Structure 1
Amino acid sequence: MLDFAIFAVTFFIALVAAVLYLYPSSRRASGIPGLNPTDEKDGNLQDIVNRGSLHEFLVSLHREFGSVASFWFGGRPVVSLGSVHQLRQHINPNHTTDSFETMLKSLLGYRSGTGDGAAEAVMRKKVYENAVNSTLKSNFPLVLKLVEELVGKWRSFPESQHTPLCAHLLGLAMKTVTQLALGESFGDDLCPTRTSTSCFFPFLPTHQIWSEIGKGYLDGSLEKSSSRKGHYEKALSEMESMLLSVAKEGKAQRTAFVDALLQSGLTERQIMEDCMVFTLAGCVITANLCIWVLHFLSTSEEVQDKLYKELDEVLGSDPVSLDKIPKLRYCQQVLNETVRTAKLTPVAARLQGVEGKVDQHVIPKETLVIYALGVVLQDSDTWSAPYRFDPDRFEEESVEKSFCLLGFSGNQTCPELRFAYTVATVLLSTLVRPLKLHQLKGQITEVRSELVSTPKDETWITVGRRS
């Protein structure tokens, strides 16, 4: 799935909590330059909190100590890698399971495989990937329909009307992922007319689950508040019950993700767990990729025009199809540059399965190794003008190779990100041909990097007709 990146969840405590859940702690010093623990019990946790996010903490850490640096979480040493060169050297032989799936399922209290052996884990991984791919292929007309409904709504707006990207694209991702995961009939239960950004899954407690996984583990507040923990556990239980009922009763139509799992021989419990992962991760990644790409397009008329030209040449007046998507090379460059510029997933991690070495530094076995992707994605040694949105940079082979190395493209891309790229491509091909996007004057869009990177506040645009 991913060798060097974990998509969807990039907040630190989720990564650390999963490792602490699965592996014994070690107090072996790494000998790598970095911070000493400021607290015997919490390590450098307060330093992370003071910086506002793990990404900002890692930026300062690597600025002070270089591209290989260390810090402490509790009594556990952590090594962070902050350049493509060091990431290229880092080798983790455990490719049998997906790090994100292992992490998220552990936090939810699930097992990450069908059994204790590597063969079962590989089988489970293949079943999941095949289910996502086959579901997208068989339901592509539904994806196109949902996107066309949104674009049709935008085309009806007066050109002066302000359009909220976060609210509308969270809604699109919500409807798309839910209907593809559980069946098209579930779309009638959603609330597409609501515009609040908190309307994540109106009929499901997904937003509360996802929110608490992030903020509740960072400061320990979830454990300290019995009421909050109770609400979280209730929300998780409600969603699990709904997903289990789908698995048991076969409510979906024979083209949904859940049905692909039902045909694989998995247990009802395993089907519920995989549906939970796809529903959570698929929605968050898809929504934020779509939000950011439309935001960046609204800031560059030149990029919009170049994308329009490619879409017109490849598609003409026809809707996009799965077989035409690989021909949209510039569209792929726009999405790649969106992921890079927005630092869509600023942090990833691997557990050091065996003792390893990066440069002259020895990394002991069972050390948590952080990939500071947000630092790497804006490293001036790797990317020219790193803070500029410039899809043309991906015309260079060396740039594409660096991006693949980080796990953002190529064969190692996780199925959730591939799914998000497909939905975003459908959105761009449907939206950019009839409409132009304009940024509101004076609007400042800041990044919130605790989870998958998302704007701190609602992001607004206006849409105009192409002449």
Structure 2
Amino acid sequence: MDLTACSCAVYYVVPFVIAIAILWQLLEWETKLKRNRNDGTKVIHGPRPSDPTLGNFPDIELAGGLISYLKRAHAQYGDVVQVWFGDKPVVSTASPGAFTDQVRLFDKPEMSFISPVFGSRSIQFVNGPEARERRRKYDMYLSKDAVHSHFYTFKQIADETTCQLGALEDPDHVTIYDVAFQMACRAVGVALFGEYFSHDDNILTFKALYEQFWPVLEKNFTSGLPEEGTDESEHFYSIVQDVHHIVRSMIEDHVTSGTDRKFIDVVMESNLDQTTVYGDILVYLVGGFHSVSTTLTWCLYHAALYPQMQTRIHGELSHVLGRAHIQPSALPELKYLRWFIDETLRLRYVAPVATRLSGNNTKIQGYHVPEQTQIIHALGVVMNSETYWEHPERFNPERFDTSENSDKAKRSPLAFCPFGFAGRRMCPGKAFFYDEALIFLGTLIRAFEFSLAPETPTNMAITEGLLTRPRDKVVLKIKKRTCE
């Protein structure tokens, strides 16, 4: 047998077979769409895959991230666009009208690029009745009343952080993300999981691991999981084991400490396997601190960048609180601070997308979407669209003024949905987020004046990932305010 001839045949035939398989999938998708033309539905258009295996992933990387890519795609093709994740067609939607057609969608697509950390059966991925029942149990611990019961925990964390910042030897070079991470991680840890994260050493250990595995997950989105057997793969799964070890330590610490019943008890009592228990805990732990710490960082950056707005926040705090300590009843009165937070969520689109799976008869704005198709809710595209926001590139908290003739009164509520909107599966931590953000920011801005350090740019760019973050470190100067 001529081995050289055989190897040459394999060299040419295998790529040909792969190309035919991909072409077949493309034709099958097109055939489904053509069938839809006969019943009056419209055909979904969008960019062709630039790579037969990777789809539009190379284009997403070239654009600087998914939202930047989708902004261009939607500008060219409209509110409903087809893109390609590898060899799979995906539908992206970007308008309040398109979102309205999906408010009942509940199931979520598989995300293999992050499942090694969170588990394939965690609340992040499980669907159907099981997911609904688990969310029903879990959401009780994140209701408005439940979250308000943590007010004094959040206040204590804010007060202790204020004391630590006030004692700094170098208040002119404060890395704000480190401060925000510690506050947010401790808040969600103590409120939901026990006393493990009341210790700074445990927070720092987890932060070091988080800062290793999270960038890998973001890379996995377009590149796939590290190839099995490589040094990169072994390192990644070693980090995952260390993260799961911390979760196990959290559980053991809570069980032995005999503290009050918390969210972690509900997870442990849910008759789930160990991997899924760890996954559900991690979903709520990471979800609980990631968006808060990133938003706090952006908010304090904006406060330093726009001193007149910071002065207005401080004036509102003085007007509402006087010389008294912040109280639960005061939070609804901090209206400008809430607008300021919401404008940060809008402009920086901290959580840029949500995803769902289409049902058996899903139609979006007249387009039929085949069953079990992944649908992207391009939240960041809508929140930065000039169709719904005047001068969307400007930071303007007064967009969220709720008076009768304000822009907000004229705008669709679904133009601003930073926590998602669909199928009772939107982010369960919305109330948790706002209580933390209002208490933490209110306490810090009441105590300190923040300004930009020389190394912090005035035109901070966004790094797009699973969540967005400032491209450069946010380093601020802090100055104690005089007593009121």
Give the distance between the partners of 2:233 and 2:262, measured in 1 at CA. Answer: 32
Q: CA deviation at 1:233?
A: 1.8
**Equivalent position of 1:222 in the other structure:** 226
**Equivalent position of 1:464 in the other structure:** 479
User: Does the 8 A contact of 1:243 with 1:275 survive in 2?
Assistant: yes
Counterpart amino acid of residue 123 in structure 1: E
Give the distance between the partners of 2:161 and 2:416, measured in 1 at CA. Answer: 32
Report the more deviating stretch, 330-339 or 302-311: 302-311
> Residue 356 of structure 1: which of 338, 359, 362 is its match?
362
Query: For the structure 1 residues 25 and 228, does the alpha-carbon distance in structure 2 shift closer, same or farther, using more than 3 Å as the test?
Result: farther
Q: CA deviation at 1:77?
A: 1.3
User: Does the 8 A contact of 1:352 with 1:365 survive in 2?
Assistant: yes
Report the more deviating stretch, 340-349 or 225-234: 225-234
Give the distance between the partners of 2:190 and 2:61, measured in 1 at CA. Answer: 37
> Residue 383 of structure 2: which of 369, 377, 394 is its match?
377
Counterpart amino acid of residue 105 in structure 2: N
**1:141-290 mapped onto 2 (5 Å cutoff):** 141-157=152-168, 161-188=172-199, 190=201, 201-202=207-208, 205-220=209-224, 222-223=226-227, 226-244=230-248, 246-247=250-251, 250-252=255-257, 253-262=259-268, 265-267=270-272, 269=274, 270-290=276-296
Do structure 1's residue 43 and structure 2's residue 55 form an aligned pair? yes
Q: CA RMSD in A?
A: 3.4
Do structure 1's residue 140 and structure 2's residue 151 form an aligned pair? yes
User: Does the 8 A contact of 2:264 with 2:281 survive in 1?
Assistant: yes
Deviations 1:297-320 (A, max 9, x none): 112222222222322232223332
What is the percentage of aligned positions where both structures have the same residue?
23
Give the distance between the partners of 1:114 and 1:173, measured in 2 at CA. Answer: 21
Q: CA deviation at 1:84?
A: 2.6
TM-score (ref. length: structure 1):
0.81
Give the distance between the partners of 1:272 and 1:215, measured in 2 at CA. Answer: 23
Counterpart amino acid of residue 304 in structure 2: S
Query: For the structure 1 residues 187 and 101, does the alpha-carbon distance in structure 2 shift closer, same or farther, using more than 3 Å as the test?
Result: farther
**Equivalent position of 2:38 in the other structure:** none
Counterpart of 1:190 in 2: which secondary structure? helix
**Equivalent position of 2:434 in the other structure:** 421
The answer to which structure, 1 or 2, has the higher relative contact order (CA under 8 A, 6+ apart) is 1
**1:265-344 mapped onto 2 (5 Å cutoff):** 265-267=270-272, 269=274, 270-344=276-350
Do structure 1's residue 432 and structure 2's residue 436 form an aligned pair? no
**What is the aligned length?**
434
Deviations 1:133-192 (A, max 9, x none): 476444432222222122223334479612211222122223323333432244325277
Query: For the structure 1 residues 226 and 117, does the alpha-carbon distance in structure 2 shift closer, same or farther, using more than 3 Å as the test?
Result: closer
Query: For the structure 1 residues 113 and 345, does the alpha-carbon distance in structure 2 shift closer, same or farther, using more than 3 Å as the test?
Result: closer
User: Does the 8 A contact of 1:349 with 1:370 survive in 2?
Assistant: yes
Counterpart of 2:328 in 1: which secondary structure? coil
Counterpart of 1:232 in 2: which secondary structure? helix
> Residue 119 of structure 2: which of 83, 105, 109 is its match?
109
Larger Rg over CA atoms = 2
Report the more deviating stretch, 161-170 or 79-88: 79-88
Do structure 1's residue 61 and structure 2's residue 70 form an aligned pair? no
